[in-house]
Chain A
Amino acid sequence: MRERDDEWTGLMRAAIAGDGAAYCRLLEAVTPVLRAAARRGLARAGQPVDQSEDIVQDILLAVHLKRHTWDTEAPFAPWLFAIARNKLIDALRRRGRRVFVNIDDFSEVIAGPPAEETVPASEVTSHLNGLPPRQRDVLQSIAVDSVSIKDTARKLAMSEGAVRVALHRGLAHLAAKLRKE
Chain B
Amino acid sequence: MIQNIKIFAQKMFIYRRVVFSLAVRIFQSRYIGTGGGILWSIVQPLATVFVFWIVFSIGFKAQGPNGVPFVLYYMTAFLPWHFVSEVLNASTNTVIANRHLVKKMVFPTETLPIVEILVATVGHLILLAFTTLLLFIHGVVPGWTSLQIVYAYLCAVVLSLGLGWFLAATNVFHRDISQSLVTLLNFWFWITPVVWSVDMIPEKWRPLMMFNPMFHVVESYRNALLYSLPIWGDTSQLLIFWLMVISFGVGGAYVFRRLKPDFADVL
Q: Do A and B bind each other?
A: no
